[in-house]
Amino acid sequence: MGMTMTQKILAKHAGLDKVEVGQLIEAKLDLVLGNDITTPVAITEFEKAGFTQVFDKDKIAIVLDHYTPCKDIKSAQLCKQAREFAHKHHITNFFDVGQMGVEHALLPEKGLCAPGEIIVGADSHTCTYGALGAFSTGIGSTDMAAGMATGLLWFKVPAAIKVTLKGKLQPHVSGKDVILHLIGEIGVDGALYQSLEFAGEGVSSLTMDDRFTISNMAIEAGGKNGIFPVDEKTMEYINGRVNRPCEAFQADPDAEYVREVVIDLNKLEPTVAMPHLPENTKVVSEVAGLPINQVVIGSCTNGRIQDLRIAAAIMKGKKVADNVRCVVIPATQEIVLQAMKEGLIQDFIEAGAAVSTPTCGPCLGGHMGVMAEGERTVSTTNRNFVGRMGHVTSEIILASPAVAAASAIAGCVADPRKLS
């Protein structure tokens, strides 16, 4: 029996010719990531265990993005601890306010993730880099400490679900709709302990930003990772960003999958996830008109330039409804600059939206858009759990940038295809 993309990458990094589903292996890491919430806990464990050196100062990335620019004294203390550790160990890829962006948008942009690599991060959305044909997965802080000390980590070789994409996305439909639809199909534990392997002729029509969004939310189906094959678009993206040799792994024709899910992109409609689970999906037309208080456009899921272009195209020359606060958060400084050059920032501000420096902020109820009792937000972020963005009675509807922008203008959940 052949191997999947994920299994091949794991085998290579474990120094093995072949791995089997369920096998426990120890693999070499190409990058270990942490943020301002998870890194301090990792540092405390690292030091408590008596470790004194990191395995490779060039293969650790620390990004202060969740509560930054710091929202309060306690979060400032956490950033201080991470900053001092980064300086002490001469961590090359340390990103502080001014350079930082939302980690999963930032790392690919900086060329820190490449096809065939293993990247682990103390943040569940580390699975984003599967879009580049890498094996990447979320870990906790103790794993991060172990990874920083040894450059190695244990993994259980996952079984795989094959997600075959056919056709081409229609106007106002994007990667977010693909992944929300998939989570609605298989459920929030549909890929538990498994990898999602994307395949089929539909892949080639997806932009890299679509693929980042799709891989990003693999965790919302319980997936260990969500990986795309490497093609011309991948190579075009990494060209000029990645200056080291990398390897594109292809699934064997006889690779084994526990199931196959086929998605016809032609038929996909703008899709939303209703409170309080990402699997509670509906086609947007089913819930159009539902009143809202806030719209958030940003995050590691949908804060990239394509997302801002889609939202700005809908909002340009229009006004955010009186009953709605709209917060737009480009995910990195490079994206902010590009959006400025293209006039998108001006479009948002003239429409009455607030535009913020990069931060994870509201996605996790940190700052920059926390909800009060009984409020409802349409958000391009990734989780709509109880209390995730604020008060325990507040509600989140997960949506694409097109749906979010249309909703901001309409003042209620809206179908972007229906806007004049």
Partner 1 sequence: MKVYKYGANVDTDVIIPARHLNDPSPAALASHCMEDIDAQFASTVQPGDIIVAGPNFGCGSSREHAPLAIKSCGVKCVIAPSFARIFYRNAINIGFPIVECPQAAEEIQPGDEVDVDFSTGIITDATQGKTWQAAPFPEFIEGIIKSGGLLNSLKERGVAK
Q: Which residues of this chain interact with partner 1, rule CB under 8 A?
A: 24, 37-38, 40-41, 44-46, 48-53, 55, 66-67, 71-72, 74-75, 78, 121-124, 126, 138-143, 145-146, 149-150, 152, 154, 188-189, 192-193, 219, 222, 224, 277, 364-366, 370, 383, 385-388, 392
Nearest CA among 37, 54, 140 for reference residue 90: 54
Least distance (Å) between residue 248 CB and partner 1? 26
Beta carbon of residue 212, minimum distance to partner 1 (angstroms, whole number): 18
Complex with partner 1: residue 180 or 219, whichever CB lies closer: 219
Q: Which CB sits closer to partner 1, 214 or 277?
A: 277
Q: List, in sequence order, every beta strand (DSSP E) within 8-151.
A: 24-28, 31-35, 60-63, 93-95, 118-121, 135-138
E strands along 208-258, which residues?
Answer: 225-227
Separation of alpha carbons 8 and 4, rounded Å: 6
Structural contact between residues 169 and 134, judged by C-beta atoms closer than 8 angstroms: no
Residues 39-43: contacts with CB under 8 Å, at least 24 apart: 39/81, 39/82, 39/85, 39/122, 39/141, 39/144, 40/78, 40/81, 40/82, 41/141, 42/122, 42/141, 42/142, 42/144, 42/145, 42/148, 43/81, 43/82, 43/85, 43/145
Contact status, residue 280 vs residue 395, Cβ threshold 8 Å: no
Torsion of CA 152, 153, 159, 165, to 10 degrees: -70
Taking the least distance from each CB to partner 1, the nearer of 154 and 201 is 154
State the minimum distance, in angstroms, from the CB of residue 42 to partner 1: 8
User: Of 396 and 404, which CB lies nearer to partner 1 in the complex structure?
Assistant: 396
- In the complex with partner 1, the residue whose CB is nearer, 92 or 205, is 92
Taking the complex as a whole, the smallest distance from the CB of residue 43 to partner 1 amounts, in Å, to: 11
For residues 23 and 346, which CB has a smaller minimum distance to partner 1 in the complex?
A: 23
We find the least distance from the C-beta atom of residue 365 to partner 1, in angstroms, to be 5
Q: How far is the CB of 407 from partner 1 (least distance, A)?
A: 23
